[in-house]
């Protein structure tokens, strides 16, 4: 698609959408949101980019290879399950710790967040892999 | 309310089945989507419909207030939606590849492996 | 110790994640996958030994108590199935490099295989019926991609049927789960067993159980819901169809056995009669379908269908001996069936074709007697000749049928066994025995070589296999599995003992309920 309006708009909305995706990812534990939805929003943002420019350009913007992203996400999610086992708890039990922050209350960080982060990466990777494959005229085999 | 939802589920299922019985692979995929929705609505209805009380425990309480919605069917549906999203994405890629390969979306052209 | 329940799921998941990260190196993926499947097999054997000695093992994920949390349970049935999954997994990973071309391997072949194994093991070990659905979807998703991987036309055609029918089955399963939850308010299998037994409205429960029967019937390819299987299993590379043939339908059978022994026992006169009729028809249609086929893997695919009938027959008779027979049959069948598909790949490499009508490039019998011996062991075991594993499996079922005085099904089972022998002889004669010069159909006699058939042999063959002589690893895998078949036959006594204990455990769900919900549920 070759539309200057869409391209210009995408340049502005892409960072905003990605920011929104991260907000949704982070608020997921207590409010509506989470890794899956955040990942979908991020994937939608990149899909918009792929429509406005072209899939090759989008792959360049993402920088990380999507396959690596999926793998890293899976590993992250699995690691979050193993962390409680170090403390002798069952697989996937939520473990929380407080991280002191310069201003305000200490931040509660836990393994569910890590799990969500992994889900986020997997969802972005798989969704984009499918969308970009469909958008690209000839399938890439390697 | 239950009756309405039951009818909706039934209509969705029937429409999905009808689409799947057509000879077009594109309609086949649409039929799969509709049948999936029908299943979700069935779970939703079977889990019990309640109004206006979301399943969130108040900060000072330890249990759900009485009369609030059952969160489990919602979780089940969410999972089912996520799964059907993945399956659908795959089905679309499959159908588009098949269309490229066969050059036709008539399901009768896909009968070679049945012989 | 309870972590042992989780290992068969966690190991392949971790391997899948790691081999995804290592997508650049096929060698690394291969090594990871093979080591992972060996580790899976070892952990599964350890699990089986533990469960057999100490009783059912349960684990609550994330420390949420049952029936609220996600439960993993390993009883003898689940543990046996996991061991078989591990064994098939090892064989497939070893066989794959020789059977799947590099282009396909690059398209996430190895991670997908690992995910498939994780899904299969998850389905065997989960204690929650909705999680069973999730694991089904995990294994289905990876099997969809594995089936279509490479995108040749027959594969795509087969995949469309496979995907559609399996998705319909998933939807039925989901609807059944929803209605069941609405009726009794729980999804934990142990809790379900309790609540279903106490439920007042038996009619709803029976209706739901029939929905489950239809859903799992599609997945296990029972009559009349089997059409997706023979039109798709012969299209992907041999290694893929071998692991499908070995494991996927058996997950459906496992689910049937689990649901209709642990949970739905409220109206066995009704549900198990349907199962029994279905079992008989499945056997007959499967074996007759096979008799009409002239492609190596299509014959075998129809035989999967007919063998599924035997397993369901064991479940349907619902006596301790019959269930033991079903368990024994599953153990025998997974090994033999996967092996036959592996051998099909071997024979394809030697002859250059999988068609039984087209004469191969060479006579397999002359070139490679070893292949012939391996095939004979597997094929005769499938047909049920003593002293191989299939004989004992059929013997137990026939004996159970006679004891239950279901003479019709016994008759069907015996006749179908004979027809299986006919099919195997057909493959033997056409694919292994015959010299290249002989005209097709000569040695079986019955098939007129009319013009219509001459046209049909021109149909595109699914050449997803690599060319060239078979590698040593292919022989090793097929030979190894053949040895296992012989061993199951030789040590039929101990194996039957295990099957009997499994059946006793399945028929008495008290221990299962106690293991999950604690002593006083």
Question: Scanning every residue of chain C, which has its alpha carbon at the shortest distance from the alpha carbon of B100?
Answer: C153
Quote the pLDDT of residue C359.
67
How many angstroms away from the CA of B59 is the closest CA of chain A?
11
For C67-80, letters b (16+ CB in 10 Å) and e give bebbbbbbbbbbbb
What number of helices (H) and strands (E) belong to chain B?
A: 3, 0
Closest CA–CA distance from residue B38 to any residue of chain C (Å):
8
pLDDT tens column, B4-20: 999 999 999 999 999 99
Q: What residues of C are in contact with residue B6 (Cβ under 8 Å)? A: none
Phi and psi torsions of A109, nearest 5°:
-120, 135
Positions in chain C short of pLDDT 70 = 1, 359-361, 437-466, 519-521
Count Cβ atoms below 10 Å from residue C215 Cβ, excluding itself.
27
Give the per-residue pLDDT at C500: 93
Site of tokens 């027979």: C325
* Residue C458 CA: distances (Å) to CA of C153, C309, C436, C453: 15, 33, 18, 9
So what's the pLDDT on residue C437?
Answer: 63
Longest dimension (CA), chain A: 57
Per-residue burial over C474-489, b if 16 or more Cβ lie within 10 Å, else e, is bbebbbbbbebbeebb
Provide ipTM, 2 decimals.
Answer: 0.92
Q: Where are the domains of chain A?
A: 4-82+112-135
pLDDT score, position A1: 64
Report which of C14, C187, C168, C12 is spatially closest to residue C90, judged by C-alpha positions: C12
- Nearest-Cα distance to chain B for A134, in Å, is 7
Q: Which of C259, C234, C260 is nearest to C245 (CA)?
A: C234
- State the DSSP code for A94: -
Q: CA-nearest residue of chain C to B108?
A: C157
Each residue's pLDDT tens digit, A105-115: 777 788 888 99
In this prediction, residue C465 carries a pLDDT of: 54
Candidates C68, C167, C214, C232: best to mutate against B (most CBs of B within 10 A) is C167
pLDDT at A141: 44
Contacts of A126 in chain B (CB under 8 A): 86, 89
Note the pLDDT of residue C457.
39
Q: How far apart are CA C218 and CA C253, in angstroms?
A: 10
Which region, left, alpha or beta, applies to residue C185 given φ > 0 means left and ψ of -120 to 50 means alpha? Answer: left
Residue identified by tokens 């075998």 is: C300
Q: Which chains touch C (3 or more CB pairs under 8 A)?
A: A, B
Q: What is the dihedral of CA C150, C151, C153, C156, to 10 degrees?
A: 120
Q: Is B5 on the interface with C (CB under 8 A)?
A: no
pLDDT tens digits, B17-74: 999 999 888 899 999 999 999 999 999 888 878 776 777 777 787 777 777 778 888 8
Distance CA C380, CA C369 (A): 16
Count helices and strands (H / E) in chain C. Answer: 22, 2
Q: Is C281 on the interface with B (CB under 8 A)?
A: no
Within 10 A of C132 (CB to CB), how many other CB atoms are there? 24
Q: What is the pLDDT of residue C185?
A: 85
How far C153 CA sits from the closest chain B CA (Å)? 6
Closest by CA to A29, choosing from A142, A105, A128, A108, is: A108
Residue A139 clears pLDDT 60, i.e. is over it:
no
Q: Write down the pTM of the prediction.
A: 0.91
Domains of chain B (ranges, CATH numbers): 2-50+71-104 (1.10.287)
- Say whether residue C92 is in contact with chain B using an 8 A CB cutoff: no
pLDDT in tens, A47-95: 999 999 888 888 998 888 888 899 899 999 988 888 888 887 777 777 8
State the burial class of residue C1 (Cβ atoms within 10 Å of its Cβ: 0-12, 13-18, 19+).
exposed
């Amino acid at each position: 698609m070759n539309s200057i309006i869409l391209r210009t708009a995408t340049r502005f909305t892409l960072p905003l959408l990605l920011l929104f995706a991260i907000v949704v990812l982070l608020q997921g534990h207590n409010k509506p949101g989470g890794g899956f939805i955040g990942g979908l929003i991020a994937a939608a943002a990149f899909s918009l980019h792929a429509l406005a420019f072209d899939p090759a350009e989008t792959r360049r913007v993402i920088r990380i290879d999507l396959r690596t992203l999926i793998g890293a996400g899976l590993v992250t999610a699995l690691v979050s399950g193993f962390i409680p086992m170090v403390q002798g708890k069952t697989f996937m039990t939520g473990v929380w710790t407080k991280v002191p922050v310069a201003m305000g209350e200490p931040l509660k960080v836990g393994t569910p967040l890590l799990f969500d982060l992994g889900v986020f990466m997997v969802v972005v990777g798989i969704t984009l892999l499918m969308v970009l494959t469909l958008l690209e005229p000839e399938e890439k085999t390697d | 309310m239950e009756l309405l939802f039951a009818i909706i589920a039934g209509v969705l299922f029937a429409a999905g089945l009808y689409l799947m019985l057509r000879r077009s692979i594109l309609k086949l995929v649409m039929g799969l989507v509709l049948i999936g929705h029908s299943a979700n609505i069935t779970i939703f209805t079977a889990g019990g419909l309640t109004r206006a009380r979301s399943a969130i425990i108040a900060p000072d309480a330890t249990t759900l207030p009485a009369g609030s919605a059952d969160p489990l069917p919602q979780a089940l549906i969410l999972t089912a939606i996520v799964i059907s999203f993945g399956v659908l994405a795959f089905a679309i890629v499959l159908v588009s590849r098949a269309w490229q390969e066969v050059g036709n979306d008539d399901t009768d052209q896909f009968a070679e492996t049945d012989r | 110790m309870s972590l042992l329940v989780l290992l068969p799921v966690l190991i392949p998941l971790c391997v899948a994640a790691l081999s995804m990260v290592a997508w650049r190196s096929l060698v690394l993926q291969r090594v990871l996958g093979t080591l992972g499947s060996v580790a899976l097999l070892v952990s599964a054997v350890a699990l089986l030994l533990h469960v057999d000695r100490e009783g059912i093992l349960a684990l609550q994920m994330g420390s949420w108590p049952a029936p609220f949390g996600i439960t993993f349970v390993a009883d003898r049935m689940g543990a046996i199935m996991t061991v078989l999954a591990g064994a098939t997994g090892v064989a497939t990973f070893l066989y794959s490099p020789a059977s799947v071309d590099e282009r396909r391997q690059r398209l996430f072949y190895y991670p997908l295989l690992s995910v498939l194994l994780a899904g299969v093991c998850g389905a065997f070990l989960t204690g929650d019926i909705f999680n069973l659905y999730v694991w089904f979807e995990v294994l289905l998703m990876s099997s969809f991609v594995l089936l279509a991987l490479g995108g040749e036309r027959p594969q795509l055609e087969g995949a469309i049927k496979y995907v559609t029918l399996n998705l319909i089955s998933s939807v039925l399963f989901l609807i059944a789960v929803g209605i069941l939850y609405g009726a009794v308010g729980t999804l934990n299998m142990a809790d379900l067993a309790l609540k279903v037994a106490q439920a007042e409205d038996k009619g709803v429960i029976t209706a739901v159980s029939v929905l489950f029967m239809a859903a799992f019937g599609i997945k296990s390819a029972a009559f009349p819901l089997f059409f997706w299987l023979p039109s798709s299993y012969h299209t992907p590379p041999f290694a893929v169809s071998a692991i499908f043939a070995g494991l996927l339908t058996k997950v459906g059978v496992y689910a049937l056995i689990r649901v209709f022994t642990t949970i739905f026992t409220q109206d066995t006169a009704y549900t198990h009669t349907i199962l029994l009729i279905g079992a008989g028809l499945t056997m007959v249609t499967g074996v007759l379908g096979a008799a009409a086929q002239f492609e190596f893997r299509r014959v075998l695919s129809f035989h999967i269908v007919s063998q599924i009938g035997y397993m369901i027959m064991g479940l349907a008779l619902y006596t301790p001996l019959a269930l033991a027979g079903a368990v024994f049959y599953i153990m025998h069948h997974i090994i033999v069936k996967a092996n036959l598909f592996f051998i099909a790949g071997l024979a394809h490499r030697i002859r250059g074709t999988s068609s039984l009508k087209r004469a191969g490039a060479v006579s397999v019998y002359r070139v490679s007697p070893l292949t012939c011996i391996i095939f004979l062991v597997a094929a005769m075991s499938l047909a049920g000749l003593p002293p191989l594993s299939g004989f004992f499996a059929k013997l137990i079922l026939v004996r159970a049928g006679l004891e239950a005085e279901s003479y019709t099904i016994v008759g069907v089972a015996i006749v179908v066994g004979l027809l299986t022998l006919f099919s195997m002889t057909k493959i033997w004669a056409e694919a292994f025995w015959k010299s290249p010069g002989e005209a097709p159909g000569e040695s079986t006699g019955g098939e007129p070589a009319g013009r219509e058939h001459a046209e049909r042999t021109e149909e595109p063959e699914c050449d997803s296999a690599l060319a060239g002589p078979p590698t040593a690893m292919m022989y090793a895998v097929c030979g190894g599995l053949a040895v296992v078949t012989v061993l199951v036959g030789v040590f039929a006594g101990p194996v039957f003992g295990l099957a009997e204990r499994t059946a006793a455990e399945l028929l008495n769900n008290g221990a299962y309920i106690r293991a999950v919900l604690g002593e006083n549920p």
